[in-house]
Amino acid sequence: MVEPGLNEATVEGPLGADDLRKIDSYWRAANYLSVGQIYLLDNPLLREPLRPEHVKARLLGHWGTTPGLNFIYVHLNRVIRARDLDAIFVCGPGHGGPGVVANTYLEGTYSEIYPDISQDAEGMRRLFRQFSFPGGIPSHVAPETPGSINEGGELGYSLLHAYGAAFDNPDLLVACVIGDGEAETGALAASWHSNKFLDPVHDGAVLPILHLNGYKIANPTILARLSHEALADLLSGYGHEPFFVEGSDPAEVHQKMAGTLDAALDRIAYIQAEARGGNKETLPPRWPMIVLRTPKGWTGPKEVDGLKTEGFWRSHQVPISDVRGNPAHLLLLEDWMRSYAPEKLFDAAGKLIPELAALAPDGARRMSANPHANGGLLMRQLRLPDLRDYAVAVQTPGRAQAEATRVTGEYLRDVMRLNAETRNFRLMGPDETASNRLDAVFEASDRVWMEPILPEDVHLAHEGRVMEVLSENLCQGWLEGYLLTGRHGFFSCYEAFIHIVDSMVNQHAKWLKVARGLGWRRPIASLNYLLTSHVWRQDHNGFSHQDPGFIDHVVNKKADIVRVYLPPDANCLLWATDHCLRTYNRINVIVAGKQPAPQWLSIEEALTHCTAGIGIWDFASNDQGGEPDVVMACAGDVPTLETLAAVNLLRDHLPSLKIRVVNVVDLMTLQPKEAHPHGLTDREFDALFTTDKPVIFAYHGYPHLIHRLTYSRTNHANIHVRGYIEEGTTTTPFDMTVLNGLDRFHLAISVIQRAPGLATPAAHVIQRFRDKLIEHKDYIRRTGDDMPEIRDWVWPYQADAA
Amino acid sequence: MVEPGLNEATVEGPLGADDLRKIDSYWRAANYLSVGQIYLLDNPLLREPLRPEHVKARLLGHWGTTPGLNFIYVHLNRVIRARDLDAIFVCGPGHGGPGVVANTYLEGTYSEIYPDISQDAEGMRRLFRQFSFPGGIPSHVAPETPGSINEGGELGYSLLHAYGAAFDNPDLLVACVIGDGEAETGALAASWHSNKFLDPVHDGAVLPILHLNGYKIANPTILARLSHEALADLLSGYGHEPFFVEGSDPAEVHQKMAGTLDAALDRIAYIQAEARGGNKETLPPRWPMIVLRTPKGWTGPKEVDGLKTEGFWRSHQVPISDVRGNPAHLLLLEDWMRSYAPEKLFDAAGKLIPELAALAPDGARRMSANPHANGGLLMRQLRLPDLRDYAVAVQTPGRAQAEATRVTGEYLRDVMRLNAETRNFRLMGPDETASNRLDAVFEASDRVWMEPILPEDVHLAHEGRVMEVLSENLCQGWLEGYLLTGRHGFFSCYEAFIHIVDSMVNQHAKWLKVARGLGWRRPIASLNYLLTSHVWRQDHNGFSHQDPGFIDHVVNKKADIVRVYLPPDANCLLWATDHCLRTYNRINVIVAGKQPAPQWLSIEEALTHCTAGIGIWDFASNDQGGEPDVVMACAGDVPTLETLAAVNLLRDHLPSLKIRVVNVVDLMTLQPKEAHPHGLTDREFDALFTTDKPVIFAYHGYPHLIHRLTYSRTNHANIHVRGYIEEGTTTTPFDMTVLNGLDRFHLAISVIQRAPGLATPAAHVIQRFRDKLIEHKDYIRRTGDDMPEIRDWVWPYQADAA
């Protein structure tokens, strides 16, 4: 007997009749479960006629992309079994949730993880009910979905995550479905060129499957309406060998898909064998990819209320609406669901029949149970060098000069070396590793580059582990995929341009928050940023390169996910780098400059100071443990420098003034203990900042953030913050601070104006500082450089003079 | 005599010998001026031997891309003159500043705008000095650069700006140079498909010139290392007909470029003539584009210190460093600059010789003086309908229901109609115009679509003025280009995903800030956002679609640029939309929901309330003009609804409590007057919020922002803000507010806990509200829906009952 949806006459191709029948049945089972999730509250197996009360009151979900995903999934299952593949499934089409969930349920993983959703009628009822339901699961693939490393909410990152997963996993196949809607996004459009960074010797394979179902929410898609020739050109231009699978007759498309998948996997095996056998002539490889063109909402209702639905955008979400209130719609839904013949797919108990269950791979070979997609299971701690070995010697504060990022570059070089064998650490950056002065890493690894390498090229190699491409999106997406599959990484970026990935960071933070609540998802390594080339040192780039707002952006995320560090010198940056590489499930943001700058703390002092995250700098304070007249706080390398220079000015001119200097490395310490795990208690905060003395706070970024973090503190009304107030331009380093009122003179004037008990002599000092500012302006206008007394200023006191 | 750099033997092609010589000379002049800007403080014409003190102390700038840009510019000048073209130049390569500035100086525009930079030796000295110098100009193309609509700071937006400029400018040619570094970014990679949205009948032409100089800062570029075949495939796949111009011998490349530019422009003229003649068969057109492959740092030093420099990334920035300190380097620089033979290019006074000056187009035909690149010159005010005609009738607050965005859609439809003839208004959205319920606009215009249109398609047309593509980057970039060339637009977007363009918004805000300071740049229309499908109504999408942080992001920008509106109902949204379309030089963010919701204000009340931006809602308050016991403030539609429902609860249970309701539409009113032009004075603020009463503030977004805006107000310590605290999931609308403590019960409890003088009976009421919350949880767990008494709650008081 011919199964529903299959036409016996067309059965020819790689699949035998029996295999074809089974694959199609499995697909129907997944489609049935998908429709059930969107619509049903009860009567999951349709063992009685469908009644309005069996249907959800609020119909929410997405059908359109789902049958195509189910189709791909069952075909991947076939080749995984046939070839014993180690494979994961990355689902790009945003709202394919019902399909992927259905498949993970069919292969048993879902019930293993969520025992309430058992493989029987009651479990199926719960499976249906929870979908897009309060307390249930979202309509897209999400952290809750077993086997997923890609949230289907914000679109565009599937292919990047797929590549991130494949790097350094030579035996892994990452099947990545890309929706034709998603393909219009910037991140996805750029990520096709990721294949230029995939080494067939040491990395696994990515098999992109571009799924053209033709429509977005209410529009055709660009790629689906390209001519065949233009699309083939485009994909060839991306460096792929495209295989086309197109049609709407299930039997025919099953045969084409099976044959094509075999061909593509043969091609991958060939590329890998050649490369691993040492043949460089086939490089860069032309990796295969599949274009699958099938109708949107395939196998769904052809028409609803006389309007074309299957094969059109009307099947994008819920094709039949108002099912409870419209008897004709109820009947249409029932007919549709019964067209899959659930009685032939599930046994009396409601479990998938054994003949079909046998189609799924076993154990960890199931894509939903593959440990790579729950990367924490595979994560190994990094081997880290002793950071003391890289320390800048600081006998007297402020005398030694160093470029902080250059020092950290040496540390990272050795992280690279110590983990070379396990190949689980990568450095990402948009073409800025050397420009950000981390170039010591090139002593340990080159940049990965699969395109031709010329004799004059430096530090390019197929097996490089430094990843540079002029796209923050690509760096971010690759790193996310790499971390999510259990590895470690570090992303250095120009501070201003990290905003390009604001939205990706949001989504990663959301993933982490949800994943932390799922016991079965194991912790993954933190996402670590080093933001350098920061706002204060854009001497020639000027205003367009000045934006410290990424800190503000991440601080909106859940407190237990986010950390922000502002190391004031090289030894503190070493600590921050080392610390962040040891953490997991977090987003760590470090901001530090790359320019030569005075060094304040010895490595031992740095360890103590940074571990506390905040503290009084005794060497710079003259309140000798008593109550100060004024607190000068600073966070960030440039604000620290200007604060100490201001202390110098004040001590020279007003030696009786008692100044306390508080330096903040860990910005989160400023928040109340209840708001953040690193927050100081009010008592601790008051002990540092006093309850009533003026606090002049020099901050790296937008001043408001400090107010926001401290608004509930006792002394808040006395905290006067200076920071970046969007006054940027092309100018000297010191002039940038002057324009924003963060320079030593403005800080010192601010102190004098607020410190109690300073009358006539102080006015004279203020005038002197104002004159200096005028002198400065005149000097740079003439010379283009800062005055030597400012540029070359050195902290004048011995360590023991404090 | 053969000029430097030209080999007479190779002179053959479209250019006669004399034309070739002149074009090459002009190019040399531009190159000379570019090198001079990077290096020289003085001795601009090298009339004496170069000495260290003639050279800048700090060498900052970018040479690598510059000669290629200069090359393109002079060739464009030729065809502009030959064909009387109306053309502008969009410069993608980030740091091409010296080149574009040099050209605008050569054609006289620079001196017209900045008379100090005159066309003589002293002017040239100043031109050189100001570059990357304090108080001068940045090293990239910027608002200060005449003829520019694209800042070269953050990369990736050139092609989008070019298309934005070309839309609705049928006679304009936009030449857009795309750097091969920039081409790796997400935004640029996606923007190639912009040609599917360009109508050859009503729009102008974009001529992309992909400039392959092979290298970024320290790496080769992806596109430059593709095989010729792969690159040709890729560009064909993008829908272009690529013309290749490759070489390093100037004479040869001049001839190729001249011939190719003629061919490409002929092709554009043909496409336009066919389409405008009514021939639909040639659609979609295959627009020409040029690939120009020339050496990085072309004509610069071949080697420096024995290392390859010309044709390599070492010429990216300043190819010869330490010129002041290293005599050999000084000599190398002098030789390099003299290789351009300045004495043959500039006359005794230091002005470009007339023979060469005659190569530039005249007047407004000069690309640097084309009014399209100073769009405010061409901007016409929109014709706007009377918003009263769209008002929702509101006799009694809270009785009428409406979908706010649907009402605004009708208003926008008529904006579209009223300006149909001038064709200067477009609506942008990532495939969400209908989903965001603005679909009334389709009665006035279709979506633009140049790919094939099928019989079942709806509202697609070549001449459509609604622009939908699944990329926020594309919507944003097109709109920026459209505004910068003097037109108007409106961008509707899902609230969470607008973060995708955070960085683009930054750059546009920076552009506006700088442009406002330049008297010659005329104001342009504001960038208007409608953020809908907001955080509180993601019933099935859940956490991934919930992020109200864009407001926080824009509030960091300069106060006079940013406005944020949170209209509480449809009539207020009408006001906000109408208001924003009348403003200029701003970034306006409106946040409003699309779901059916109660309406509070009649249109006249809405006009009064919104014009003030903030005010007491008398109908909801019972403090009768006296001092209240508590202030309940709200900003945003959902917070307003929950606040009024809480007022209802409190009045029922604690009728003696005097409550004042303050609604905030214009968020900027909360800031101090000194911080923002819309800010209330302290006296005004105190009059609304009292100086000592508890304020329970229900806010649409992250609560911290309200603290940040109000931290300096008298009563700040009493302001208790509730908003989105990252507790999101798939759930009902009301449950979302419960999870974040923004619901009516939590608000009412918060009032009771803080209102003075409520003891025993209040505890009982609190318990009652807590019971209600438990009942709610239980109800949604069972039904998936909100309790009818909550879902269908209606403000129970008559207007006159307050």
Q: Which long-range contacts (CB under 8 A, 24 or more apart) does B795-798 make?
A: B795/B396, B795/B397, B795/B398, B795/B399, B795/B598, B795/B620, B795/B644, B795/B648, B796/B648, B797/B619, B797/B648, B798/B396
Cα(B255)–Cα(A52) distance, integer angstroms: 76
Mean pLDDT of B765-792: 94
Question: Considering CB atoms only, which of A474, A506, A716 is closest to B547?
Answer: A506
Per-residue pLDDT band at A538 (split at 50, 70, 90): confident
pLDDT (tens digit per residue) in B293-309:
999 999 999 999 999 99
SS3 B548: coil
User: With an 8 Å Cβ cutoff, are B506 and A499 in contact?
Assistant: yes
Q: Which residues of B touch A467 (CB under 8 A)?
A: none
Cα(A571)–Cα(A640) distance, integer angstroms: 14
pLDDT at B234: 98
Of A257, A339, A206, A227, the residue nearest A68 (C-alpha): A257
Question: Considering CB atoms only, which of B153, B219, B473 is closest to A544?
Answer: B153
Contacts of A396 (CB under 8 A, 6+ apart): A795, A798, A799
Per-residue pLDDT band at B1 (split at 50, 70, 90): very low
Using the structure block, give the residue that is written with the tokens 């933070």: A509
Of A413, A135, A675, A799, the residue nearest B732 (C-alpha): A135
Is B358 in contact with B467 (CB distance < 8 Å)?
Answer: no
CATH 3.40.50.920 in chain B: give the residue spans. 614-801
Cα(A515)–Cα(A521) distance, integer angstroms: 6
Q: Across A215-224, A660-669, B671-680, which has the greatest mean pLDDT?
A: A660-669
User: With an 8 Å Cβ cutoff, are A138 and B547 in contact?
Assistant: no
Mean pLDDT of B59-68: 92
Q: Alpha-carbon torsion A766, A767, A773, A779, what sign?
A: negative
pLDDT at B514 over 90: yes
Q: Report residue B341 as tokens.
A: 């033979």
pLDDT (tens digit per residue) in A623-645:
987 899 999 999 999 999 999 99
Cα(A466)–Cα(B715) distance, integer angstroms: 53
* pLDDT mean across residues, chain A: 94
Q: Is the peptide bond before A430 cis (omega within 30 degrees of 0)?
A: no
CATH number, domain A8-371: 3.40.50.970
pLDDT at B12: 66
Q: Which residues of B touch A553 (CB under 8 A)?
A: 502, 549, 552-553
User: With an 8 Å Cβ cutoff, are A431 and B61 in contact?
Assistant: no
DSSP state of A640: H
Is B177 in contact with B141 (CB distance < 8 Å)?
Answer: no
CATH number, domain A387-597: 3.40.50.970
Q: Which residues of B touch A132 (CB under 8 A)?
A: 539-540, 730
pLDDT at A440 over 50: yes
Domain B614-801 grouped into CATH 3.40.50.920:
yes
The residue in chain A having the minimum alpha-carbon distance to the alpha carbon of residue B40 is: A784
Question: Considering CB atoms only, which of B154, B233, B500 is closest to A236?
Answer: B233
Per-residue pLDDT band at B730 (split at 50, 70, 90): confident
DSSP A579-614: HHHT-BS-EEEEE---SEEE----HHHHHHHHHHSE
User: With an 8 Å Cβ cutoff, are B731 and A134 in contact?
Assistant: yes
Beta-strand relationship, A488-494 and A562-565:
unpaired
Is B199 in contact with B463 (CB distance < 8 Å)?
Answer: yes
- Top-confidence residue, A538 or B196: B196
User: With an 8 Å Cβ cutoff, are B217 and A469 in contact?
Assistant: no
CATH 3.40.50.970 in chain A: give the residue spans. 8-371, 387-597
Domain B8-369 grouped into CATH 3.40.30.10:
no
pLDDT at A232 over 60: yes
For chain B, percent of residues with pLDDT exceeding 70 = 98
User: With an 8 Å Cβ cutoff, are A184 and B474 in contact?
Assistant: yes
pLDDT at B2: 41
pLDDT at B799: 58
pLDDT at B98: 95
Q: Is the peptide bond before B284 cis (omega within 30 degrees of 0)?
A: yes
pLDDT (tens digit per residue) in B366-406:
999 999 999 999 999 999 999 999 999 999 999 999 999 99
pLDDT at B347: 97
User: With an 8 Å Cβ cutoff, are A552 and B547 in contact?
Assistant: no
pLDDT at A2: 41
Model pTM? 0.97
SS3 A51: coil
Q: Which residues of B touch A542 (CB under 8 A)?
A: 138-139, 142, 153
Residue A699 bridge partners (DSSP): A635
The residue in chain A having the minimum alpha-carbon distance to the alpha carbon of residue B496 is: A503
Q: Alpha-carbon torsion A734, A740, A742, A746, what sign?
A: positive
pLDDT at B267 over 60: yes
Q: Which residues of A touch B708 (CB under 8 A)?
A: 704, 707-708, 711
pLDDT at B135 over 90: no
Is A703 in contact with A727 (CB distance < 8 Å)?
Answer: no
Mutate to test the interface with B, among A163, A282, A500 (most CBs of B within 10 A): A500
pLDDT at A801 over 50: no
pLDDT at A12: 66
**ipTM score:** 0.96
How many interchain CB pairs under 8 A, A with B?
347
User: With an 8 Å Cβ cutoff, are B154 and A544 in contact?
Assistant: yes
CATH 3.40.50.970 in chain B: give the residue spans. 8-369, 387-597
User: With an 8 Å Cβ cutoff, are B543 and A513 in contact?
Assistant: yes
pLDDT at B691 over 60: yes
Report helix, strand and coil shares of chain A as percent, to nearest 5: 45, 15, 40
pLDDT at B643: 98
Cα(B575)–Cα(B553) distance, integer angstroms: 24
The residue in chain A having the minimum alpha-carbon distance to the alpha carbon of residue B188 is: A186
pLDDT at B44 over 80: yes
Cα(B593)–Cα(B531) distance, integer angstroms: 8
pLDDT at B6: 57
DSSP A730-775: S--HHHHHHHTT-SHHHHHHHHHHHSTT--HHHHHHHHHHHHHHHH
Per-residue pLDDT band at B4 (split at 50, 70, 90): low
Pick from A410-424, A529-543, A586-600: least confident:
A529-543
